[in-house]
Structure 1
Amino acid sequence: MTGKQQRDVADVAAVFADRARARMIGALIDGRRLPASRLATEAGVSAATTSGHLRRMLDAGIVQVEVSGRHRFYYLADAQVAAAYEALIAMTPLPPITSLRTGTRMARLRTARTCYDHFAGRLGVAITAALIDTGVLHALDAHADTRRRVGDRLSAPVPADRFELGPGAQDHLASWGVDLAAVEALNRPTLRFCLDWTEQREHLAGALGAAILSAARDRAWVCDGPRPRELALTSAGAAGFARLAPAISQELAG
């Protein structure tokens, strides 16, 4: 690695190292576009301080900005930023439960949440396991499951070559409301995986993971929870997932 590359890595790492900037990234990790005023509230800092932080994140390529009239909306540059944030969370001890409200919030996050634009938490891991069990995902090694492999580091990306699409993937995914041909036509890797920070197991990301979440939202199987990134499973969703893969309901009930 050259000196310039080392400086680039250090610059990016420094963006995540600041508590206020980390809170802003956390607010954007579900794929939303937010104004600076909302990010200031999320980070608990002044508007002037927020402006400086956003310039730093723009320079580092962590966020991008969309201009709409007089307004500017900030969003994460890509899924790699979200994956890096989740990896850092995985290295951080879970906060102590000091109240019923905190415990409820953590329970909701663990049950179902978004990780950038795909499912995470117990629901995300259960969906991934169901796709393996039904042959949508075919393992390329000896571990046909979502468990963390020996040697996997929480701070490193999960290798993308552990699974491939099975021969019946297109027909099965159609029952999930996903058009696999359209997904594969996107300028984005179809299969990617994250090591879930609460479950310590893999969940599906990439274009297919995003399509499954989008289809679930379109069918009103999930809706946004009371706080950013939280997802709530609806009665239609409980029935729908149970019909597609009973193991998903069993995982959430366990």
Structure 2
Amino acid sequence: MREGPDISRISSLIGDPARASMLTALMAGKALTASELAREAGVTVQTASSHLGKLERGGLLRLRKQGRHKYFSLAGDDVAHVLEALMGLAADAGHLRTRPGPKNAALREARVCYNHLAGDMGTRLFDSMMARQFLSQPGDDLTLSPGGVRFVREFGIDLDALAANRAPLCRECLDWSERRSHLAGSLGRALLHRIEELGWARRDRETRAVLFTPRGRNGFEELIAAP
């Protein structure tokens, strides 16, 4: 008798091209309607609704109702991490979608991975925090050092508020385009929020790209510079 989790059920849900397109669209961290996700997948709303029902029952999506509208989002960080890892495998194997010109370069430079900063700028931030020993990795755990605590507090992040959440503070996420790590968890989400709050960058409405202003680039470079 075979025991343990059945990965075939989850992989079959993700493996359908239309459902994969919908899940990828939700990696921007926004909740989208069935109509919006139907356009992303290139299917009718009726077909999209059938796919979304399967994804919700499979535990990959969360449904929220607001008035007459239904909004779908990823069920949580774990789903986003799996999707990002699959994107990395697909990229390594050469299974890439048609390149959308300059937007592709923007996505590789900086983008949203569910709720945190990814791409070249995300991995550079992670590398900087590791090099300055703001993050430590005893075993498989990723923790914030006393120096890291000072760093994020000086950047304007309320660590006490983050500690009150049940979500892990620091998580390592493998970046699909860079094939290196960027920072996830509640701290990764807070860092991206603070970058946006300072007016350093904004999210592109049509893609997952994070677009930095000239002032934001200067501020970011100072943030990751060695002391």
TM-score (norm 1): 0.82
Residue in structure 2 matched with residue 113 of structure 1 by the alignment: 111
Shift of 1:227: 2.9
Q: Secondary structure at the match of 2:202?
A: strand
Shift of 1:166: 1.1
Q: What is the alpha-carbon distance in structure 1 between the residues aligned to residue 137 and residue 69 of structure 2? A: 46
Q: What is the alpha-carbon distance in structure 1 between the residues aligned to residue 101 and residue 97 of structure 2? A: 6
**Alignment-mate amino acid for residue 182 of structure 1:** A
Q: What is the alpha-carbon distance in structure 2 between the residues aligned to residue 125 and residue 176 of structure 1? A: 18
Q: Secondary structure at the match of 1:34?
A: coil
Residue in structure 1 matched with residue 5 of structure 2 by the alignment: 5
**Alignment-mate amino acid for residue 109 of structure 2:** T
Match of 1:165 among 144, 147, 151: 144
Match of 1:177 among 134, 149, 156: 156
Match of 1:70 among 55, 68, 76: 68
Checking the alignment, whether the CA contact within 8 Å between 2:124 and 2:224 is kept in structure 1 is no
Q: CA RMSD of the aligned region, Å?
A: 2.0
Residue in structure 2 matched with residue 45 of structure 1 by the alignment: 43
Cα deviations across residues 172-212 of structure 1 (Å, max 9, x unaligned)? 11222212222122111111111111111111101111110
Residue in structure 2 matched with residue 153 of structure 1 by the alignment: none
Residue in structure 1 matched with residue 223 of structure 2 by the alignment: 244
Residue in structure 2 matched with residue 210 of structure 1 by the alignment: 189
* Residues 97, 88 of structure 1: alpha-carbon distance in 2 compared, 3 angstrom cutoff: closer
Q: Secondary structure at the match of 2:30?
A: coil
Match of 2:89 among 83, 91, 97: 91
Q: What is the alpha-carbon distance in structure 2 between the residues aligned to residue 65 and residue 2 of structure 1? A: 32
**Worse overlay, 103-112 or 209-218:** 103-112
Checking the alignment, whether the CA contact within 8 Å between 1:221 and 1:240 is kept in structure 2 is yes
Shift of 1:4: 7.3
Structure 2 gaps, min length 5: none
**Alignment-mate amino acid for residue 192 of structure 2:** L
Shift of 1:29: 0.8
**Alignment-mate amino acid for residue 39 of structure 2:** T
Match of 2:208 among 222, 229, 243: 229
Q: What is the alpha-carbon distance in structure 1 between the residues aligned to residue 105 and residue 205 of structure 2? A: 13
Cα deviations across residues 106-136 of structure 1 (Å, max 9, x unaligned)? 2111100011100110010011112123332
Checking the alignment, whether the CA contact within 8 Å between 2:163 and 2:169 is kept in structure 1 is yes
Q: What is the alpha-carbon distance in structure 2 between the residues aligned to residue 84 and residue 242 of structure 1? A: 30
Cα deviations across residues 126-169 of structure 1 (Å, max 9, x unaligned)? 1111212333212437xxxxxxxxxxxxxxxxx4x1x3211122
Residue in structure 2 matched with residue 59 of structure 1 by the alignment: 57
Shift of 1:96: 6.5
Q: What is the alpha-carbon distance in structure 2 between the residues aligned to residue 166 and residue 96 of structure 1? A: 38
Q: How many residues align?
A: 224
Checking the alignment, whether the CA contact within 8 Å between 2:31 and 2:73 is kept in structure 1 is yes
Q: Secondary structure at the match of 1:11?
A: helix
Q: What is the alpha-carbon distance in structure 1 between the residues aligned to residue 225 and residue 214 of structure 2? A: 14
**Worse overlay, 221-230 or 54-63:** 221-230
TM-score (norm 2): 0.91
Residue in structure 2 matched with residue 190 of structure 1 by the alignment: 169
**Worse overlay, 10-19 or 164-173:** 164-173
* Residues 245, 5 of structure 1: alpha-carbon distance in 2 compared, 3 angstrom cutoff: closer
Q: What is the alpha-carbon distance in structure 2 between the residues aligned to residue 111 and residue 29 of structure 1? A: 16
Residue in structure 2 matched with residue 15 of structure 1 by the alignment: 13
